[in-house]
Amino acid sequence: MTTTNNWNIDGTHSSIGFTVRHMVFSKVRGRFGSYTATLELDEADLTRSKIEVAIDAASIDTGTEQRDGHLRSADFFDVEKYPHLRFRSTRIEKDDETSYRMIGELTIRDVTREVTLDVEATGKGKDPWGNERLGFVAKTSFNRKDYGLNWNQLLEAGGVLVGEKVEIELEIQAVKAAATAAA
């Protein structure tokens, strides 16, 4: 028997972060501060779980308002036309007791491509208020040009201002949704 439960992401203990090379030799780090997710987790067999995430593209934060404004513009995310980045899992494969590969569809600027996230289940337990919690770390990378994020600038010394590879890291703490009373 499969028992699938809905879980909610604890936004104060979770993050969606990214890094991209800047001027070839350093990285810019950022995060998305606003997102919604639907988590249907099968605790007995996580490979039967389903995850959907919608990220508010305008919530991008790299710590520099001018850069964030540029990232929100048509040169990159074009948040007026494409307000959300989306991910939907299509299957989950188990590597060992705590390691998984989550394969799914990532949509940016209406371009959808398959990506694979390396997922580590980092633990579970009850918080001091009796709520069940699960933790996960997930990582992936992709070429931003595959999603139409093409803007760049050549550097005088060679190379480009913005790297093509985007590395994503998710730190997720989920809280089991309260059971609904029988009608």
The pLDDT tens digits of the residues spanning 41-60 come to 888 888 999 999 999 999 99
**CA–CA dist 103, 92 (Å, integer):** 6
Q: How confident is the model at residue 64 (pLDDT cuts 50, 70, 90)?
A: very high
Strand 132-143, strand 111-126: pairing? antiparallel
State which amino acid sits at residue 36.
Answer: T
Give the pLDDT of residue 97.
Answer: 87
**CA–CA dist 127, 133 (Å, integer):** 7
Is the distance from CB of 142 to CB of 116 less than 8 angstroms?
Answer: no
Indicate whether 183 pLDDT > 50.
no
Q: What does pTM read for this prediction?
A: 0.86
**CA–CA dist 69, 38 (Å, integer):** 29
Give the pLDDT of residue 30.
Answer: 93
Choice between 81 and 40, residue whose per-residue pLDDT is larger: 81
Give the pLDDT of residue 22.
Answer: 78
Give the pLDDT of residue 169.
Answer: 95
Domains of the chain: 4-176 (2.40.128.110)
Average pLDDT over every residue of 2-17: 80
Give the pLDDT of residue 119.
Answer: 95
Average pLDDT over every residue of 159-181: 79
Give the pLDDT of residue 154.
Answer: 77
Choice between 178 and 93, residue whose per-residue pLDDT is larger: 93
**CA–CA dist 75, 151 (Å, integer):** 6
Q: How confident is the model at residue 122 (pLDDT cuts 50, 70, 90)?
A: very high
